[in-house]
Structure 1
Amino acid sequence: MLRPFSLTGRHVRLEPLSTEHVPGLAAAAAEDRSSYAFTRVPDGLVEAAEYVRAALTEQAGGQVLPFAVVRSSDDVVVGSTRFLDLEVLGRPGVILPSDAVPPDGVEIGSTWYAASAQRTAVNTEVKLLLLAHAFEVWQALRVTLKTDARNRRSRAAIERLGARSEGIRRAHTTASDGTVRDSAYYSILAAEWPTVRDGLRRRLAAAGRAPGPVTVPTNRRSH
């Protein structure tokens, strides 16, 4: 299975999610919950503890790698994100990815931030770190992103990354409000990554925040 790892940029650090992050996640989610209408975000310490427990259970199943998002300037937890739906293609007998056989396809999702981290460089750099790892270390073929089709703010943020729309999957899953939602699907392919990467770097630079070095493991795929 894939071993958890950290990713470090100039503005944020992605740490493997653990029970130590529970108080920080609860505090981050409590700042202002008005933007969480379409997002599952824990409310209070009890829900934060269950959120982490459930994420770690999924991680033990080999299909999820969850992270806490930590702001570098003050070491404060400002949210969470994860790799999920990790896929290995064309490898007979291989079901779960591992460090030796990294995923060919992956989704980035279950992302949320504290109100103080929204509309800052945080999300741009988080996506830069995750996408760089997926395409440059794992050498993945594609990265998927999806959101509730009603969530115009999230869809706009995904589109600003440079991801391409794949359409709407109707009556796809249960929404955070308990209804059945349609999901808007987007993807980035390996051939598109250099353009997306350059766009993310330009966005950080335009905000006066040049991207720092991306620190990632060196277990690159050999093929």
Structure 2
Amino acid sequence: MQPVRRLYRRESEENRRSALISATQELVAEGGPGAATVRAIAARAGVTPGLIRHYFQSKDELTRAAYRSLMDGMTAKGSDALEGVGALPEERLAAFVSASLRPPVLDSGSVVLWAGYMHKVRSDPELLAAHEAGYLAYRDMLQALIEALPRETRPGQSRSEAIACNALIDGLWIEGSLLRDSFSPGEVVTIGLRSVGAILGTDLIAHSSMLPDPGKTI
């Protein structure tokens, strides 16, 4: 019975940490980092303020964990989209790009939360490091998918293309999330696939299973 009790305790601690991270994210999204006080986080998570120190050494550590969770979660959605996709490089890249530009990644709350952290990145080296790690994790995954495409490239080309495609996806993610009513269904994904395909010289629309009608012009 002792191993079962340890497992239960471990699961309970993980759930409590997740609840504190979620509470922090909600408060930052609602009022910026300043709204995520220890007292407010504890009240939102339904715990005492003192319990936060049991899971995190400081509020700043909790804030950084909440930001890492946001970044890692968005990258994971793109990675998850590769499961069940065939081995064709174009199909895998199309699936990854599409997942980055549709719900649940395409979400106004996530953009507002992300923006809430941006002004702190310059003054908090550890938060900047978390931001860089999240950015590189996504970009490296994108670069690996680009490098798998059947084409000849010059040294350093895939890296520069990954940077350009990442910037393009970021821009569409922000506007597509905040201005959902300004785009028709599937338009943001279609624009993303066409634009990334244009940068790379490949037709991602033809290899996408994420659109109602891949051949339709929007």
TM-score normalised per structure 2: 0.30
Structure possessing the higher radius of gyration over alpha carbons = 2
Task: Compare the two structures and name the one with the higher strand fraction.
Answer: 1
TM-score normalised per structure 1: 0.29
